[in-house]
Amino acid sequence: MHTKSISPWKEAVQAGLIAGAIAVLLNLVGMTTAFSGRYIVSGWFTMGQVLFLVPMFILAYTTARKIAPQPAMHTALAGLVCGVIGSAVQAGLVLLGQVVNLRAMFINASPQLFEILTFGRDLPGLLLLLLAGSIMGVVGAVIFLLPERLAKSVLQALLWILLLGLLRDLVSTVTAQWVIKTKAFPDWLGWAGVLITSLSTFINKTIYSASGLKPLSAIVLFLLVGAWAYWRYGRPKRARITGPLTRRQQTQRVLGLGGIALLFILLPSILGIFFAEILDNVGLYILMGLGLNIVVGFAGLLDLGYVAFYAIGAYAMGVLTSPELGFFNLTFWEALPFALLATVIAGVILGLPILKMRGDYLAIVTLGFGEIVRLLALSDWLRPWLGGTQGIQRIGQPTIGSIILDSQQDLYYLFLAAIGIVAFIAWRLKDSRIGRAWMAIREDEDVAMAMGINHVATKLLAFATGALFSGLAGTIFAAKLHSVYPHSMNFLVSINVLSLIIIGGMGSIPGVFVGAFVLIAAPDLLREFAEYRYLAYGALLVAMMLTRPEGLWPEERRRLELHEEEGEVPLGEPPPVLNTPGG
Amino acid sequence: MALLEVENIHSYYGNIHALKGVSLSVDKGEIVTLIGGNGAGKSTTLRTITGIMKPHEGHVRLEGNDLAPFKPHEIVYKGVAMVPEGRRIFARLSVAENLEMGAYTLTNKSKLNQNMERVYKLFPRLKERRSQVAGTLSGGEQQMLATGRALMADPTVLLMDEPSMGLAPVLVELIFDTIQQINKEGTTILLVEQNALMALSIAHRGYVLQTGEIVISDTAENLKQNVTVQKAYLGME
Ligand SMILES: Nc1ncnc2c1ncn2[C@@H]1O[C@H](COP(=O)(O)OP(=O)(O)OP(=O)(O)O)[C@@H](O)[C@H]1O
Ligand SMILES: [Mg+2]
């Protein structure tokens, strides 16, 4: 049973140590404790337990894959080793906590954490911890041994259970407000009211318990999702559509798009007030993402100061409309074209000095530009115009006729309209001559020039378009809050937008939507996550780069390039994260 | 009047005087080769012609018009296309997309298709692999693609920078046959090469460049017989 290159036992020990380290990290930053109250399956296990046990599961699975092919017994044993070591490391943490006062350094190494790790049974509970860890390791390794189709289905079903369990509170909030809405239904819709009410009761009383899924429904859901996934993975892959669409495909596509549009229009009504705020936030980031996607994704110009244009849009709207400053007192719609013009000009002004820069230099200079704009907004020097630290209040709100668009729901539709227009423009630009010029500049600027592309105009246009979209987001943001403050224009906004593009898929328009929902909506939906937002972003980015560097919804070409022939990404070859043409 | 005329150009990289008064001319329908060793200034000459570098002194003329006031991309519109040193294909785009990029100056879609057909006829290999990601092509195929991409713009003058670089002899032969073919179809060619033997076998005339200066200029036949050339570039004693 000697292997030539890698020793399975060494791998298993290593994986166990890594799993233990990850779990200890999650424990010490407080995530385990924060999620300990949230049951996934009521009475069975909480999200906190998932956090400190799942690392062993994942690492056992990856180890099994790494050391394959091995006899089944060895794979299971390797999983066991990984699980035991991973949980032993945590047991070590608990023991250490008994002797030394860890709290002096790690505020989260609290008695509560130790109670969670020992399943509330003091030191004997450590045996339970070891047992749970071993089970995790063995199960993780054994899943790998299943036929691929079955393994994928099981994993998917597990993920769904986790997700559905986590979303319990949200689902119950949503369904509760459905029931309230049915009260206002006219008589002839009474049957629908009854239907909705009983659906809501079914969801809240039968599927879910007061916290998490009910055990029985968890099992049923697991089987249902698993069977569905199993069926889906068995289907032959749909061939990519090439050439002109047939009549039927065309109707399908139109119906599909229409369905999505209708869904988005009805979304605030379906989800209720609580979600409108979150959706507005997502909308804001989608707008900015679509803009930055042009600059970074299409043209390959890494801009880290993107928040500057957002700030300029918002401040321009403030200066033009606020009666407090009293310069112009325009209405929102009157001010909009001027504010947008200002951002476009800013885009060109930033673009000019950095035309010759590439890659890292470009990133640093744009970063500086973002900071300069923020500092100018903060400065005493410009206080009479921009309000300094106080910002600008009483910014004009958009109106339609005599209706003021000020509720979250109204603003949602404003965002929706803006996104519709911007996404359409981005989509058309992408397939245009300009889009091709951007692509050429992104791939190789010198050669692009040799193809007859005017690199100055092309780059400036990318910056200007990106600035325009971001500026539009800024103006709506100003109108939404009724005010602007310099502190909301910080560097993290740029980073968020960049991250969402990377996660969605560089250069992909649907990717921007997916990325915004994942990065912006998810932390808002799970309040416990909010505190660990950036930790989660970091972990997500690393995980993505390792397993899916092309993003969640990649542009077709990126997928082709990174997964030739549906093969795996070659290991050891760092994926191109950002395209920064050599400088 | 020569189609392309380079008159006494001096080019610098900072303080490095890379071209010290280079003059050459290419007539319509010719294949002219510029041979020289590493660092002689061959690529610099091409860079100066395409406008990427501006000469400190001297003129580049196309059909008698001075190109000095024009930007690199404008010079492409005037009919000068380049196959860059080291191919420089768009590695992440497909073969067909690379070719489309080459036709950026064309606004007429049917003209584009016509040129694409022409390229596919010259290089049937590219047609077979038209949807392949260009970065995964072999070196020879990449050279075909770089050449085809330059042809997509319908150039009157094609500048080629060391097309034989890093290719096996069979492939070099194939590429050079195609260069001759392209020339017969009416494109004027300025060919920069270190592989003097191959270059002189297809060229009408040639220039020898040494540390930024043209040292010999003659017909290809005579250059092949020239003792200095034989010693320095043809590897004969
Ligand atoms: N970007 C640059 N900066 C500074 N010096 C340069 C640069 N590019 C070229 N040179 C110098 O200019 C001279 C001519 O270079 P050039 O690239 O034209 O040579 P070449 O004849 O094309 O050589 P090769 O056959 O190796 O490609 C060389 O001495 C080179 O070092
Ligand atoms: Mg060279």
A251: confidence class by pLDDT, cuts 50, 70, 90: confident
Which of these three, A465, A486, A507, is where a domain ends?
A486
Judge if A81 and A117 occupy the same domain: yes
Judge if A228 and A307 occupy the same domain: no
Ligand 1 atom closest to residue B46's alpha carbon, by position in its atom list: 18
CATH among 3.40.50.300, 2.60.220.30, 3.40.50.2020, 3.40.50.1000 for B1-79+156-170+183-237 = 3.40.50.300
Domain count, chain A: 3
Residue B66 is given by DSSP the state E
Predicted confidence at residue A242, as pLDDT, reads 56
Q: How far apart are CA A536 and CA A513, in angstroms?
A: 19
Predicted confidence at residue B227, as pLDDT, reads 85
Answer yes or no: is the C-beta of B18 below 6 A from any ligand 1 atom.
yes
Q: How far apart are CA A575 and CA A552, in angstroms?
A: 15
- Chain A positions contacting chain B at CB under 8 Å are 433, 436-437, 439-440, 443-444, 446-455, 557-558, 560-561, 564
> How many Å lie between the centroid of ligand 1 and the Cα of residue B188?
25
Residue with the larger pLDDT of the pair B129 and A326: B129
Ligand 1 atom closest to residue B85's alpha carbon, by position in its atom list: 27
Specify the residue with its C-alpha closest to ligand 1, atom 28: B39
Largest CA distance in chain A: 83
> Residue A577: is its pLDDT beyond 70?
no
> Residue A564: is its pLDDT beyond 50?
no
Nearest CA in chain B to A436: B101
Residue among A242, A451, A454 with most chain B CBs within 10 A, to mutate: A451
Q: How far apart are CA A559 and CA B133, in angstroms?
A: 11
Identify which of B6, B10, B11, B13 to mutate to test ligand 1's pocket (most ligand atoms within 8 A of the CB): B13
The answer to whether A442 touches A310, Cβ cutoff 8 Å, is no
Alpha helices in A202-271 (DSSP H): 215-234, 247-271
**Amino acid at site A140:** G
Ligand 1 atom closest to residue B44's alpha carbon, by position in its atom list: 18
**For the stretch A25-35, what's the b/e string if a residue is b when 16 or more beta carbons lie within 10 angstroms of its beta carbon?**
ebbbbbbbbbb
Which of these three, A438, A454, A486, is where a domain ends?
A486
Predicted confidence at residue A580, as pLDDT, reads 39
A230 CB burial (10 A radius; 0-12, 13-18, 19+): middle
Judge if A330 and A461 occupy the same domain: yes
Judge if A131 and A153 occupy the same domain: no
pLDDT per residue over A434-445, tens digit each? 999 999 999 999
pLDDT per residue over A498-545, tens digit each? 999 999 999 999 999 999 998 888 877 777 777 787 888 888 888 888
The answer to whether A368 touches A305, Cβ cutoff 8 Å, is yes
Answer yes or no: is the C-beta of B35 below 6 A from any ligand 1 atom.
no
**H-run or E-run covering A480:** helix A455-481
Ranges A208-212, A296-300, A561-565, B215-219: which has the least confidence: A561-565
Predicted confidence at residue A93, as pLDDT, reads 94
% of chain B exceeding 70 in pLDDT = 99
Answer yes or no: is the C-beta of B26 below 6 A from any ligand 1 atom.
no
Question: Cβ separation of B84 and A452 shorter than 8 Å?
Answer: no
Q: How far apart are CA A310 and CA A471, in angstroms?
A: 5
Q: How far apart are CA A16 and CA A13, in angstroms?
A: 5
B211 φ, ψ (degrees, to nearest 5): 35, 55
Residue among B43, B70, B71, B101 with most chain A CBs within 10 A, to mutate: B101
Residue among B78, B92, B109, B145 with most chain A CBs within 10 A, to mutate: B92
With respect to residue A468, please indicate whether it lies within any of the assigned structural domains. yes
Judge if A135 and A154 occupy the same domain: no
> How many Å lie between the centroid of ligand 1 and the Cα of residue A48?
62
Residue among A452, A558, A560 whose CB faces B105 most closely? A452
* Chain A CB contacts of B133 below 8 Å: 557, 560-561, 564
Identify which of B42, B52, B195 to mutate to test ligand 1's pocket (most ligand atoms within 8 A of the CB): B42
**Residue A197: which domain range?**
149-234
Identify which of B12, B35, B43 to mutate to test ligand 1's pocket (most ligand atoms within 8 A of the CB): B43
B21: confidence class by pLDDT, cuts 50, 70, 90: very high
Predicted confidence at residue A565, as pLDDT, reads 42
Question: Cβ separation of B92 and A561 shorter than 8 Å?
Answer: yes
- Give, in order, the Cα–Cα distances in Å from A415 to each of A281, A282, A320, A517, A521: 9, 9, 21, 14, 15
Which of these three, A130, A145, A160, is where a domain ends?
A145
Q: How far apart are CA B93 and CA B144, in angstroms?
A: 15
Question: Cβ separation of B81 and A450 shorter than 8 Å?
Answer: yes
Which ligand sits closest to the CA of B194? Answer: 1
Predicted confidence at residue A574, as pLDDT, reads 39
pLDDT per residue over B195-204, tens digit each? 898 999 999 9
With respect to residue A385, please indicate whether it lies within any of the assigned structural domains. yes
Predicted confidence at residue A182, as pLDDT, reads 84
Answer yes or no: is the C-beta of B194 below 6 A from any ligand 1 atom.
yes
Helix, strand, coil percentages, rounded to 5, for chain A: 75, 0, 25
How many contacts (CB atoms, under 8 Å) link A and B? 65
Predicted confidence at residue A324, as pLDDT, reads 84
Average pLDDT value for chain A: 87
Nearest-Cα distance to chain A for B107, in Å, is 9
Residue among A447, A454, A560 whose CB faces B133 most closely? A560
Question: Cβ separation of A451 and B153 shorter than 8 Å?
Answer: yes
> How many Å lie between the centroid of ligand 2 and the Cα of residue B231?
21
Helix, strand, coil percentages, rounded to 5, for chain B: 40, 25, 35
User: Dihedral, CA atoms, B126, B130, B133, B136, nearest 10 degrees?
Assistant: -30
The answer to whether A149 touches A230, Cβ cutoff 8 Å, is yes
Residue among B84, B92, B153 whose CB faces A557 most closely? B92
Question: Cβ separation of B77 and A454 shorter than 8 Å?
Answer: no
pLDDT per residue over A84-105, tens digit each? 999 999 999 999 998 888 888 8
Predicted confidence at residue B13, as pLDDT, reads 94
Predicted confidence at residue A240, as pLDDT, reads 56
The answer to whether A489 touches A473, Cβ cutoff 8 Å, is no
* Chain B CB contacts of A437 below 8 Å: 104
Identify which of B10, B11, B16 to mutate to test ligand 1's pocket (most ligand atoms within 8 A of the CB): B16
* Chain A CB contacts of B101 below 8 Å: 436, 439-440, 448, 451
Question: Cβ separation of B88 and A447 shorter than 8 Å?
Answer: yes
Nearest-Cα distance to chain A for B93, in Å, is 7
Q: How far apart are CA A387 and CA A364, in angstroms?
A: 28
Judge if A128 and A31 occupy the same domain: yes
With respect to residue A541, please indicate whether it lies within any of the assigned structural domains. no
Judge if A279 and A426 occupy the same domain: yes
With respect to residue A497, please indicate whether it lies within any of the assigned structural domains. no
Question: Cβ separation of A451 and B72 shorter than 8 Å?
Answer: no
User: Dihedral, CA atoms, B125, B126, B128, B133, nearest 10 degrees?
Assistant: 130
pLDDT per residue over A47-87, tens digit each? 999 999 999 999 999 999 988 888 889 999 999 999 999 99
First-to-last alpha carbon distance for chain B, in angstroms, is: 38
Judge if A50 and A90 occupy the same domain: yes
What tokens appear for B52 in the block? 């990427």
Judge if A122 and A174 occupy the same domain: no
The answer to whether B9 touches B59, Cβ cutoff 8 Å, is yes
What tokens appear for A383 in the block? 């206080």
Helix, coil or strand: residue B137: coil
With respect to residue A443, please indicate whether it lies within any of the assigned structural domains. yes
Judge if A161 and A33 occupy the same domain: no
Answer yes or no: is the C-beta of B44 below 6 A from any ligand 1 atom.
yes
The radius of gyration of chain B's CA atoms, rounded to the nearest angstrom, is 17
Once rounded to an integer, what is the mean pLDDT over residues A183-206? Answer: 87
Domain regions of chain B by residue span? 1-79+156-170+183-237, 88-154
pLDDT per residue over B76-100, tens digit each? 999 999 999 999 999 989 999 999 9
> Residue A139: is its pLDDT beyond 60?
yes
Q: What is the DSSP string of B87-116?
A: ----TTSBHHHHHHHHTTT---HHHHHHHH
Judge if A360 and A453 occupy the same domain: yes
**For the stretch B29-59, what's the b/e string if a residue is b when 16 or more beta carbons lie within 10 angstroms of its beta carbon?**
ebbbbbbbeeebbbbbbbbbbbbbbebeebe
> How many Å lie between the centroid of ligand 2 and the Cα of residue B35?
10
**How many Cα atoms sit within 13 Å of A330 on the Cβ side?**
15
The length of chain B in residues reads: 237
Q: How far apart are CA A225 and CA A217, in angstroms?
A: 12
The answer to whether B145 touches B126, Cβ cutoff 8 Å, is yes
Cβ neighbors of B15 (< 8 A, separation 6 or more) are none
> Residue A567: is its pLDDT beyond 80?
no
Predicted confidence at residue A583, as pLDDT, reads 31
Judge if A214 and A300 occupy the same domain: no
What tokens appear for B1 in the block? 């009047």
pTM listed for this prediction: 0.85
The answer to whether A317 touches A395, Cβ cutoff 8 Å, is yes
Predicted confidence at residue B208, as pLDDT, reads 94
* Chain A CB contacts of B100 below 8 Å: 436
A326: confidence class by pLDDT, cuts 50, 70, 90: confident
Helix, coil or strand: residue B60: strand
Ranges A117-126, A347-356, A380-389, A549-558: which has the least confidence: A549-558
Cβ neighbors of A355 (< 8 A, separation 6 or more) are A455, A456, A459, A460
Q: Determine if the peptide bond prior to A581 is cis (ω within 30°).
A: no
A213: confidence class by pLDDT, cuts 50, 70, 90: very high
